[in-house]
Amino acid sequence: DIVMTQSPLSLPVTLGQPASISCRSSQSLVHSDGNTYLNWFQQRPGQSPRRLIYKVSNRDSGVPDRFSGSGSGTDFTLKISRVEAEDVGVYYCMQGTHLLTFGGGTKVEIK
């Protein structure tokens, strides 16, 4: 089974400052079809998860361009260029290359 490891667990950030979340997989997420199925989700308090990024770096419709995803193979990053108050919540990476596995989550809060 693929294990997804996120860091940090908690990320206090100042409004307007950048933030970065790391996600590492225990094996390569490159699928036999050539795609890398690594997604990022945001879960605001009391809400269902919302997908932000799919296949490493593709933003979903309606997602602000301050969110970006990058990486390859086993190392991936979600970046928020300038954190806003509405970005508070827990962020999860998820691999879909071999079944599904979620990372443990990173809680983003405002300092």
Partner 1 sequence: EVQLVESGGGLVQPGGSLRLSCAASGFTVSSNYMSWVRQAPGKGLEWVSLIYSGGSTYYADSVKGRFAISRDNSKNTLYLQMNSLRPEDTAVYYCTFSGYWGQGTLVTVSS
Q: Residues interacting with partner 1, by CB under 8 A?
A: 1, 39, 41, 43, 48-51, 54, 60, 90, 92, 94, 99-105
Q: How far is the CB of 81 from partner 1 (least distance, A)?
A: 22
If the CB atoms of residues 32 and 48 are measured against partner 1, the closer one turns out to be 48
What span, in angstroms and rounded, lies between the C-alpha atoms of 85 and 110? 7
Cross-strand partners of 25 = 4
Least Cβ distance, residue 30 to partner 1 (angstroms) = 19
d(CA 33, CA 8): 31
Residue 85 dihedral angles phi and psi, to the nearest 5°: -60, -35
Nearest approach, Cβ of residue 16 and partner 1 (Å):
28
Of the two residues 66 and 104, which places its CB atom closer to partner 1 in the complex?
104
